[in-house]
Structure 1
Amino acid sequence: MTSTGQPHSESTLNYVGFWPRVGASIIDTLILMVITLPPLILIYGWTYLESEQLFLGTADVVINWIFPFIAIVAFWAYKQATPGKMAIAARIVDAKTGGKPSLQQYVIRYIGYFISTIPLGLGLLWVAWDEKKQGWHDKLANTVVEVVKPTVISEPTENC
């Protein structure tokens, strides 16, 4: 929304490019690793890091698959961004209105990450050359990542 409360037009959105989004992803990945690795090592031991199995058990599925899904979608729903995106002053918006995406769009976007990764990460790399800086996950969910414009707060003037 603009400062007047009107939705953005597509031409007023300032899209976040490939490298800042890579940086945000690295931040998010590190945070998730700090949260998930300790309980996984406590439950499965250090051999967890050497395992070639996709799923080692219920705890593995909950900690590695369900928890990240809930945490990421919750951040998107409440803040329109993950901590990594917040660190680079970016947020996810609906591509058509510039407003807050729906929960359905967030879920589609999350699932779209897996689709974007399958063909050698091509769907993620797409951000680098797309006009709106959309990866395939963004295109599927009809979202874009925009730069958060700082709110200007004017200080009261003193009357002398």
Structure 2
Amino acid sequence: MTQQAGWYDDPQNPDNLRYWDGVQWTDHTSPKQKPNLEQAGRAIAAEDGWGTAPGAQQGQGQQGYGQQGYGQQGGYGGQGYGYGQQPGGAQPPYQGQWQPMPGAGQQLAAGRPTTPDGQPLAGWWHRVGARLIDGLLIAIVGSIVANVVVPGVWGDYVDWFMEAADPATAGAATNLDPPADLLARISTWSLVVAAVGMVYEIVMVTLAGGTLGKLALGLRVRLREQAGKIGWGSSILRALVYQVCGLFTPVAVLNVLWPLWDAKRQALHDKVARTNVVRVR
């Protein structure tokens, strides 16, 4: 069963906490803050009925903080704070580990914006870089697919333009508006490229947690209130709003710039889908 996102014992360093994003371990760590041992000992003594008996201090030293009570059993009673055993590799944390502590994410982020459960949000430049990588990939793949669907459209456009711009053939009243059939083919070509881009984003974000550009830069898309991969519905809504914003240049520019001043670092399509772009490394 997948463990919920949060701060858990670092499998590589028992003195640290490491953030589990619901899918895998991230590179974000924070020093572990152990409870005050003296206060914890008194609490255990009171709970077990030791009270102020003469042997209380000796029992507390042997059972409360000994190797069996504190190290191997993973904390007080084997399920409290869990400073003992660690999961290996990339396995998810188990229930007996240290559970998310309020403020741990804010301490790690040191003022950087985070999701409500403490995962750092992606910076604006990282998001732009990921979009540039994705835009190049979509332009290449989309053009190949569109040229199969609408073959020769740009060759016909160049031929028409050269003929229309030539005074010897067009005359004095040169008309630079393409004929209706050529405009229809160009529109179809553009729609195919847009459809390729939308399908690419929906599939990659849903199945892999991010597009190839985001994966390359250590970014992931998640719901703001819930870690892990988003579902098909949220992914489709997010991609659809992004495409609609792109139809109007002022709105497209506003959508790209919006995370710069937004407290949650959400673009407009993130706000509609209730998502965040986060950093995992």
Same fold per superposition (TM over 0.5): yes
Among 36, 44, 53, the alignment partner of 2:152 is 44
Shift of 1:135: 0.0
Aligned residues of 1:80 and 1:91 also touching (Cα < 8 A):
yes
Shift of 1:123: 1.9
Identical pairs, percent: 24
Compared CA separation, residues 114 and 62, structure 1 to 2 (3 A): closer
Among 16, 29, 34, the alignment partner of 2:140 is 34
- How many residues align structurally? 149
Among 84, 100, 104, the alignment partner of 2:233 is 104
Compared CA separation, residues 126 and 62, structure 1 to 2 (3 A): closer
State the match for 1:127 in structure 2.
259
Among 183, 188, 210, the alignment partner of 1:81 is 210
Shift of 1:41: 4.5
Matches within 5 A, 1:1-160: 1-2=5-6, 3=20, 4=93, 10-41=116-147, 43-47=151-155, 55-56=184-185, 60=189, 63-117=192-246, 118=248, 120=250, 121-149=253-281
Q: Output the aligned Cα RMSD.
A: 3.1
Compared CA separation, residues 54 and 83, structure 1 to 2 (3 A): farther
- The CA distance in 1 between the partners of 2:153 and 2:183, in whole Å, is 16
Instruction: Report the AA paired with residue 138 of structure 1.
Output: D
Gaps of 5+ in 1: 150-160
- Which segment is superposed worse, 56-65 or 90-99? 56-65
Larger radius of gyration: 2
Q: Whose helix fraction is larger, Structure 1's or Structure 2's?
A: 1
Compared CA separation, residues 119 and 35, structure 1 to 2 (3 A): closer
Q: Deviations over 1:32-84 (max 9, x none)?
A: 11212245446124347769777527963673133222221110111010000
- The CA distance in 2 between the partners of 1:96 and 1:49, in whole Å, is 49
- Which segment is superposed worse, 39-48 or 65-74? 39-48
Gaps of 5+ in 2: 7-19, 21-92, 106-114, 162-177
Q: Structure 2-normalised TM-score?
A: 0.46
Aligned residues of 2:139 and 2:193 also touching (Cα < 8 A):
no
Shift of 1:23: 0.6
- The CA distance in 2 between the partners of 1:58 and 1:114, in whole Å, is 15
- Which structure exhibits the higher relative contact order, with contacts defined as CA atoms closer than 8 Å and separated by 6 or more residues? 1
